[in-house]
């Protein structure tokens, strides 16, 4: 059976522990592309937060972003496939999280937004200390995130909505709640 394409996760897989594409991995991607294999980075990241070193690889034509909600042609910036959350689902999520201490990240048209307090101090909301620089570099701060999600630039356009939770027990509880109460979404996580 001939392999025609490979989809590769980025963080901790294609990128090393420092978040960098090693020379060895870059050469392997070039060899794969030269063998006729379509190399497709697949990431939970929004398009705008993908590393430039990945997007500049001439061997990379397509990327899967925002936890699978979008497929983008890197050379043209065209979305080949795009899914958005329904406004009803977003409203249900916000209502279910109303009394919880969570932070939100909203991905819209390949750009990531997050509430200002979270961008300033991500660890307070449950982010890993190693992610502080990445969050601050890639998130556009929004003062009133819930209002932004409901009525601002996000209404009807959310690629995905991240609910940042502190603590594994709380995360499991909210995960189960979301899966039960909002059936037309899928819940995923990339970190403990």
Q: What is the pLDDT of residues 22-66, one digit of tens each?
A: 999 999 999 999 999 999 999 988 999 999 889 988 889 999 999
pLDDT at residue 17 above 90? Answer: no
139-142 vs 158-164, strand pairing mode = unpaired
The pLDDT value recorded for residue 13 is 86
pTM recorded for the entire structure: 0.85
Mean pLDDT of 70-86: 92
pLDDT score at 71: 95
What is the per-residue pLDDT across 110-140, written as a single tens digit (0 to 9) for each? 899 999 999 999 999 888 888 899 899 999 9
What average pLDDT score do residues 141-150 get? 92
157 pLDDT higher than 90: no
How confident is the model over 61-87, as a mean pLDDT?
Answer: 92
Q: Residue-wise over 108-141: b if at least 16 C-beta within 10 A, else e?
A: bbbbbbbbeebbeebeebbbeeeeeebbeebbee
């Amino acid at each position: 059976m001939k392999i025609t394409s490979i989809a590769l996760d980025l963080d901790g897989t294609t990128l090393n522990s420092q978040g960098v594409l090693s020379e060895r991995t870059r050469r392997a991607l070039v060899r794969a592309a030269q063998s006729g294999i379509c190399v497709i980075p697949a990431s939970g990241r929004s398009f705008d937060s993908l590393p430039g070193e990945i997007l500049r690889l001439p061997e990379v034509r397509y990327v899967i972003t925002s936890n699978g909600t979008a497929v983008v042609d890197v050379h043209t910036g065209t979305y080949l496939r795009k899914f958005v959350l329904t406004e009803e689902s977003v409203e249900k999520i916000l209502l279910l999280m109303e009394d919880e201490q969570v932070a939100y990240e909203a991905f819209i048209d390949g750009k990531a937004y997050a509430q200002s307090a979270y961008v300033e101090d991500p660890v307070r909301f449950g982010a890993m200390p190693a992610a502080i620089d990445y969050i601050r570099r890639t998130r556009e701060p929004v003062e009133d995130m819930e209002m932004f999600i409901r009525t601002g630039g996000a209404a009807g356009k959310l690629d995905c909505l991240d609910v940042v939770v502190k603590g594994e027990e709380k995360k499991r509880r909210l995960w189960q709640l979301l899966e039960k109460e909002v059936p037309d979404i899928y819940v995923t996580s990339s970190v403990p």
